[in-house]
Every structure is written in C-alpha cells, then in structure tokens.
Chain A
C-alpha cells in the first residue's frame, strides 16, 4: 500500500465519506472506489465496479473472484469497505438515554440526543454526547437520516415522540423504535394514522422497543434496544421468530 493511498483513505474516513479500498491480490495494485468516482492504480470493469459498490451498500468487506472453465482463479479482488460510523438518534434525554448513549458509542455508533427540554438535555447528564435542543421534527429533518441511521424515541410524550416518528418513519432509517407499552403503542398508531402515515410506514416501527429479554433497569432496557438494533442490522436469527 502506498502511503499516499493510506493518507487518502484516512482523509475519506475523517470526512465520513464511504469508500472501498480494492486490492488486486494477483498484482498488489490498489484502487479507491467512492460512490461517485474511482481514484487509483488500476481500472475496474463496469461489472466489477458495480460489485464493489454493492459491497459498500451492504457494508460487507470480502472477495470478488472469477474462475476460468478449469476452475483456475483468473481474478481475485479484495474489497475492504470503509463506511462512516453508524448513527443513533435518541429522542428524549431521559434516564434510559443516559445508559443507551454510552453503550451505543461502544458499539461504534455516533450518538445524538434530541430533546428541546434543556433541563433534560444537559452536558452534565450527557457528558461528551452530541445534544440537539431543537423540536424533534425540526432536528430530525436537519440530521439527514440515512440507511445507516437508527432512531429511537424515549420520551413517552406524544408531543415529542410523534413529530419525531412522522419524520423517522418516512426516512430511510434502518431501524425506528419507540418506547411504550402495547396499549400506548395502539393509541400512538391511531394518532400517526390520523397525521397521514401509511400502514406500510407504521409497520416499520419497532414498538414496544427492544427485544423481550425481561429487561427491568434502564441499563437492561438499553441493552434490549441495542440487541434489537443489532439483530435488525445483521439480520439476526432471532428476528425470524417475530410475528
């Protein structure tokens, strides 16, 4: 690997720009593939470029191989995907959020806590966590939710949770969850329907949030939420048994 390639890779990561380092294992040559351009040492056929970009989209590093008729390897590319960190947006700077934020950071998520109530969303309660004190719908519209973002509402308060869910359930977020009992959830769905959400959009909502692991304490609830987010992201087996 050339030092210049390494520096370019570090720069892309610092800029939170998705990129894949493609190494031709036969020649040792390397190329950087971005979503919109290619920078580097060797050319890729359109089919291989598409395969690399599929790997970026799937966030899955791995080999692209081709064999000839005799089973000999004619091509061996290793694709190392460098995607920006996953993000978790928590609506509600509540007790559970205080446990969820550091635990999610350990799992590699960039965490933002949204709560317009300054008394809750304070640096003292969330040291080192990015805080956004705008109204949830305004904050979420501005945070550019993408397919690497999870959103969880925790306030229990329709005034705060509903506007956030209206944005999140229409976004490409890979996970949207909401705290609240089954009964609360039924009422919530009624309200969201009145405000124009379709059944298909509401079906994406994980509520009551988290895997049913019998969680009681705020830290345990945080664990169950992160377990469910992980299961959704990794196609965990446990989800196959959901009804």
Chain B
C-alpha cells in the first residue's frame, strides 16, 4: 500500500504540540494511522496527540474514532505499553459511529516519554 503523506504543516503542528506538552511536564501519547482499507477520511501517517486530560491535537479520522483512541491513549500513558487498535465499520453502521464512508483503520498508539 502506498498512501501518500498528509500535508506537512499539519504533521508539524501535531509533533510540535506533543513536544510542547511534554516539555510542560504533561503525559502525552501519540496515535498514528498505520494502515487503511476501503475509504478512509485520513491517510496513512496521520497523527493525533493526546495529553493526560484528553486534550487533542491533529486527527486520525473524520472525528469518529477519536473518542476510543483517547480512551486507549490514557491507558498507554499509564502503563507505557504501545497498543495497536483496529476500527472496522460496515457501511450501514458507518454513519452512527462517524466513519461516514465505512472502511477500516488501524491506529498505533504510543506514549511519548
């Protein structure tokens, strides 16, 4: 699969925000889209930074899986163990969950430490 990169300036913002939060002594986790199947609103490489309070920067979807990712990100901040998350949504369910287009997204969540 060779999905192109996202806009560089978007990524810059997320990485810099994560570094700034970390510099301020906050717990931070980073989520990255590592694979997609079917249609997906955010390409491979898209990132979301989360801090201990659940504050977000960037995105790994059209907004639908962010809640679940933040939930897992907090666990990653606690135990330091990276996690690989898969979200698959049928077209019928897609609208309810927020993946407006269906498809599957795999997200890697790691602590910044």
Q: Which residues of A contact B (CB under 8 A)?
A: 1-3, 6-7, 9-10, 13, 23, 25, 28, 55, 58-63, 78, 80-85, 107-108, 234
Contact = CB atoms under 8 A, between A and B. Distances in A.
Q: Is the interface of B mostly helix, strand, loop or mixed?
A: mixed
Nearest to A81: B5
Contacts of A234: 4
- Interface core residue of B18, B30, B45, B113 (most chain A CB under 10 Å): B45
A42 to B, nearest CB: 14
Interface in B1-57: 1-5, 7-9, 11-12, 15-16, 18-19, 22, 30, 32, 34-35, 43-45
B60 interface: no
A3 B19 contact: yes
Contacts of B5: 59-61, 81, 83
A234 B5 CA distance: 11
A83 B6 CA distance: 11
Q: Is the interface of A mostly helix, strand, loop or mixed?
A: mixed
Given A1-B111, A25-B34, A80-B32, A62 B1 contact: yes
Given A1-B110, A3-B112, A80-B45, A108 B2 contact: no
A58 B1 CA distance: 12
A59 B30 CA distance: 21
A100 to B, nearest CB: 17
B32 A7 contact: no
A3 B4 CA distance: 26
Contacts of B98: none
Task: Report the 4 A-B pairs with minimum CB-CB distance, sorted nearest first.
Answer: A61-B45, A60-B2, A108-B7, A28-B82
Given A13-B15, A62-B2, A28 B110 contact: yes
A3 B111 CA distance: 10
A84 B8 contact: yes
